[in-house]
Amino acid sequence: MFKISPVWRRRLIVIGSIVVVLAAVLGITAWYKFFRVVPEEPFANAEERFKYGSLDGENTAGLPYWIWVAMPRVCSKYLPGPGGYRSLGIPWEEGHEMPVGFTKRIIGFPRVANNCASCHTASYRTKAGETPVYVAAGPNHTTNIQGFLRFVTTCAKDDSFNPDTLLAEIEQHTHLDLIDRLAFRYLIIPRTKKALTDRDGQLGWMNRQGIPDWGPGRDDPMNLTKYFMTGMPWDSTVGSADFPSTWDLDIREGMSLNWGGETPSPRSVIIDSALGLQADPKTVEQHAAWIQDFLRSKRPPKYPFPIDAGLSAKGEAVYKKECAYCHALGSGSRVGTVIDVSEVGTDANRLNTWTAEAARIANQTVAKLGITRKDMVKTNGYQSVPLDGLWLRAPYLHNGSVPDLREMLEPQEKRTKLFWNGYDVYDPVGVGFDTQSAEAQRTGFRFDTSLKGNGNQGHLYGTKLSAGDKQALLEYMKTL
C-alpha cells in the first residue's frame, strides 16, 4: 500500500464528492425522465377504468405520448380519411383526452397503450345527424385494429418519421425542455422507430398475399395468440373473427369462451387477452380481477327504438321453440357448449387456426410466467352463445359475415354477398347496422363473403319459418 499525503487525500475527497454528487444528479435526472412511475389517477367509476385504465403495458408496448399525438398529423397520408385516429373508427368521447381503449401513463415520460375497451366498446347512432353512443363492454364493430397496427408501423418506416419532422410538429403544440428535446431526438424517436419497425416484422403474417383484411370490428384472435404465445411458424390459416360482447360475464361463468370455445373460463380469456395487449405478467391477475368484476354486472343497453309488444310476444313463442335449446339460459339448454362444426355448418376457417399443439404450448407459456388459470383446449366446433344485447352485436356469426338479424333467418343464397361494415348508424328494419347506404359505402369496409374466412354459410336455424313467424321472432330478438 502506498501512502496518500493529507493534501492529496483532501483533494481526492473533494473530487470524489463532486463525482458522487454529479452521478447522483445524473442518476436522479435519468430516473425522473425515463423510469419514474406515476400512479394512475383514480377513476370516477369502474366503467371509466374499463375504458381508460392501464394494464401496465405502457412500459413494454407503450408509444411515447407525444409521438402518438404527432403521428396522425405527420403521417396523415396513411390514414383512410380526415379525422386522425377517428378515421380508423376508433371511439373517442367528446371532451376526453384519450380515445376509448387508449391508456396514458407516465413512466418517466407519458406513454400510451391499449386496454380491453379498444375492442370491446360498441358505438351506435339511431340516425346520421346524431352523436354516437358508446357502450362499454359491447362488441366494437367500427375500429379497424389491423388498420391501426398497419398505420403505426407504416408511419414508423416512413421518411417523415424523423426527429426534425416529429419535433417540429410536437413543439408547435407543447414546450419541451432541453433534456426532453435531446431525449426525443437521440433516444425516444429512434428507439420508437425501431420498435415499431420490428413489430411490423412480427405482424408480417397478416400482411401476406392472399390473407384477407380483417376490416373493422374483427381480428384474428387465435392466430394472434398462436404466433405471440407459442412461437409456432406461420401457417396459411385465416381466422378472422368478430369482437364479442363482454357484458354479463356472470352468466358466462362455467361456459366455454372464444368463438370456438377454446378457453374454458372468463378469467382465462381476460388474462390471455390482456397478455396479448402486453400487460405486465406480474400484475395481470390483479387487473383481470377488476375487469372481471366490472364485466360480471355490466348489462347490455336496451334496444333504442320502439318494440311492438304484441308481435314480440308472438315471437317469444317461436324463439322458445326454435332457438332456446341452444341459446337460452337454464338447464337442458346447450348454451355455452361447443356445437360440432358439421352440425352448425358455419365457416370452419376460424376453427382451424387453433391446434392442440398451440393450446399445449400456450398453456406452458402462461404457466412459466407464474400465472395460474384454467388451460386452453382444442375443440371441433363453435360455441352456442347467450344472446344478451343481441341487437348491438351485428354483424352476426363468429366472422361477422351476416349483416343483420333479418338475414340470419334467411338461407345462404339469400344472404348479402357484399356489404360495407363499420358504419354505426342503426337500421331497425334489418336489425343490424346500415351496411348499404352511400354513407356506409363511403366510410365502411367492403366485406366480401367470398373471401377466405368470410363465408356466410351455415346456422340455417329458423330459415324455414313462415314470413310471419320470422317477423315476430325478429321483434322478440330486439328485447334480448
Crossing angle for the helix pair 266-276 and 284-297, nearest 10 degrees?
Answer: 130
Q: Please select the residue that binds another protein; options are 47, 59, 84, 316, rule is CB under 8 A.
A: 84
The yes or no reply on residue 436 touching another protein (CB under 8 A) is: no
Total residues contacting another protein by CB under 8 A comes to 32
Q: Please select the residue that binds another protein; options are 6, 39, 42, 95, rule is CB under 8 A.
A: 95
Q: Please select the residue that binds another protein; options are 33, 40, 47, 86, rule is CB under 8 A.
A: 86
Q: Please select the residue that binds another protein; options are 130, 164, 340, 343, rule is CB under 8 A.
A: 130
Stretch in the footprint of another protein (CB under 8 A) among 16-24, 72-80, 234-242, 470-478: 72-80
Helix H, strand E, coil C: the string for the chain is CCCCCHHHHHHHHHHHHHHHHHHHHHHHHHHHHHHCECCCCCCCCHHHHHHHCCCCCHHHHCEEHHHHHHHHHHCHHHCCCCCHHHHHCCCCCCCCCCCCCEEEEEECEEEEEECHHHCCEEEEECCCCCCCEEEECCCCCCCCHHHHHHHHHHHHHCCCCCHHHHHHHHHHHCCCCHHHHHHHHHHHHHHHHHHHHHHHHHCHHHHCCCCCCCCCCEECHHHHHHHHHCCCCCCCCCCCEECCCCCCHHHHCCCCECCCCCECCHHHHHHHHHHHCCCCCCCHHHHHHHHHHHHHHCCCCCCCCCCCHHHHHHHHHHHHHHCHHHHCCCCCCCCCCEEEHHHHCCCCHHHHCCCHHHHHHHHHHHHHCCCCCCCCCCCCEEECCCCCCHHHHCCECCCCCECEHHHHCCCHHHCCCEEEECCCEEECCCCEECCCCHHHHHHCEEEECCCCCCCCCCCCCCCCCCHHHHHHHHHHHCCC
The yes or no reply on residue 177 touching another protein (CB under 8 A) is: no
Cell of 126: 339511431
Which C-beta is closer to another protein: that of 86 or that of 185? 86
Q: Please select the residue that binds another protein; options are 61, 67, 69, 348, rule is CB under 8 A.
A: 69
Q: Please select the residue that binds another protein; options are 174, 197, 286, 372, rule is CB under 8 A.
A: 174
Which C-beta is closer to another protein: that of 100 or that of 409? 100
The yes or no reply on residue 172 touching another protein (CB under 8 A) is: yes
Taking the complex as a whole, the smallest distance from the CB of residue 380 to another protein amounts, in Å, to: 44
The yes or no reply on residue 132 touching another protein (CB under 8 A) is: yes
The yes or no reply on residue 79 touching another protein (CB under 8 A) is: yes
Q: Please select the residue that binds another protein; options are 1, 5, 44, 94, rule is CB under 8 A.
A: 94
The yes or no reply on residue 129 touching another protein (CB under 8 A) is: yes
Q: Please select the residue that binds another protein; options are 52, 92, 303, 396, rule is CB under 8 A.
A: 92
Which C-beta is closer to another protein: that of 129 or that of 201? 129
Taking the complex as a whole, the smallest distance from the CB of residue 11 to another protein amounts, in Å, to: 16
The yes or no reply on residue 428 touching another protein (CB under 8 A) is: no
Taking the complex as a whole, the smallest distance from the CB of residue 86 to another protein amounts, in Å, to: 4
Residues 6 or more apart in contact with residue 145 via CB below 8 angstroms? 118, 119, 214, 218, 219
The yes or no reply on residue 6 touching another protein (CB under 8 A) is: no
Q: Please select the residue that binds another protein; options are 9, 10, 282, 442, rule is CB under 8 A.
A: 442
The yes or no reply on residue 48 touching another protein (CB under 8 A) is: no
Stretch in the footprint of another protein (CB under 8 A) among 93-101, 189-197, 386-394, 465-473: 93-101
Taking the complex as a whole, the smallest distance from the CB of residue 99 to another protein amounts, in Å, to: 7
Contacts to another protein from residues 460-479, by CB under 8 A: none
Which C-beta is closer to another protein: that of 26 or that of 168? 168
Taking the complex as a whole, the smallest distance from the CB of residue 58 to another protein amounts, in Å, to: 17
The yes or no reply on residue 175 touching another protein (CB under 8 A) is: yes
Q: Are 70 and 130 in contact (CB under 8 A)?
A: no
Question: Which residues sit at the interface with another protein, rule CB under 8 A?
Answer: 69, 72-74, 76-77, 79-87, 92-97, 99, 129-132, 171-175, 442
